[in-house]
Amino acid sequence: MTAERKQSLALFLATLDDLLGSGYASKREYSFSKDPSSSDPPAQPVQEQKEQEPVALHAALKKPVPPDSLHRIINEVYICTACPLHKTRISGVPGEGVEHPVVLVVGEGPGAQEDKTGRPFVGPAGQLLDKMLSSIDLSREKQCFITNIVKCRPPLNRDPQLEEMEACMPFFSRQLALLKPKLILSLGRIATQWLLQTNETITKLHGQWKDYKGIPFLPTYHPSALLHNEMWKRPAWEDLKILRAKLQEYTDQKPELSKQKEPEV
């Protein structure tokens, strides 16, 4: 089955779940085959099922299709098998934050801690990201939503492959449409190059405002890169100041710049 077919199937199951209110999407053990050792009573005669089926189907089809939601995306990510990354994940990592963020923060993919917890950016790089955001008065609890291009961890933290990013991209696009962020902050080379569809290096792209589907888009270094290379600490801080200056256009209260501190890297 192709990646697109698998995603379509996941979307269909989640929609069916919303329509019937059965919690189907979260019941992974659901099976179409009957266990021969089961003591369940035998299925109804075929004739009776045929008489009931159109009524139930008709009732379900009469209900309006519910609009897309962040909750539905979460359920779909957890059961998604659209690319090979599902085989090695412990948990999908859909993303977290506020529903209408000022800033959508996007990295390339979850790491080991994220895979274990199902939450984005909770390892050492995530702690640094929280510090960076905090240094310009942002947090995932109040103004940000944090996610990745691929929602499942690539084995051994390798770069996500193009086919994996392609398969997972509908989730990001749907999140973007629902969240409607004012700004996007992309972390690192992979996410930046993928979203901008460019081969330019992050060294060249960081700190320059770009446009992503009409939304101001600022690339910067990935926090894990900052943990490994002191050299990028200063330019990353300069990028945050550029983000902070732009944020002032969206807030009535201008931050008191003199109180801002450079994050410890």
Q: Which is nearer to ligand SF4, 82 or 236 (CB)?
A: 82
How far is it, in rounded angstroms, from Cα 258 to Cα 7?
Answer: 49
Distances (CA, A) of 218 to 59, 103, 114, 205, 264: 48, 10, 24, 9, 21
Q: Using an 8 Å Cβ cutoff, are 147 and 120 in contact?
A: yes
Q: How far is the CB of 152 from ligand SF4 (least distance, A)?
A: 3
Q: How far is the CB of 187 from ligand SF4 (least distance, A)?
A: 17
Q: How far is the CB of 182 from ligand SF4 (least distance, A)?
A: 26
Q: Which is nearer to ligand SF4, 82 or 138 (CB)?
A: 82
E-state strands within 173-212: 183-187, 210-212
Q: Which residues bind ligand SF4 (CB under 6 A)?
A: 77, 80-83, 85-86, 92, 150-152, 164, 167-168
Full DSSP string of 25-66? GG-TT--SSPPTT--SPPPPPHHHHHHHHHHHHHHHHHSPPP
Q: Which residues contact 111 (CB under 8 A, 6 or more apart)?
A: 123, 125, 153, 157, 224
Q: Which is nearer to ligand SF4, 83 or 185 (CB)?
A: 83
Q: Which is nearer to ligand SF4, 170 or 207 (CB)?
A: 170
Q: How far is the CB of 130 from ligand SF4 (least distance, A)?
A: 24
Q: How far is the CB of 68 from ligand SF4 (least distance, A)?
A: 16
Q: Which is nearer to ligand SF4, 85 or 103 (CB)?
A: 85
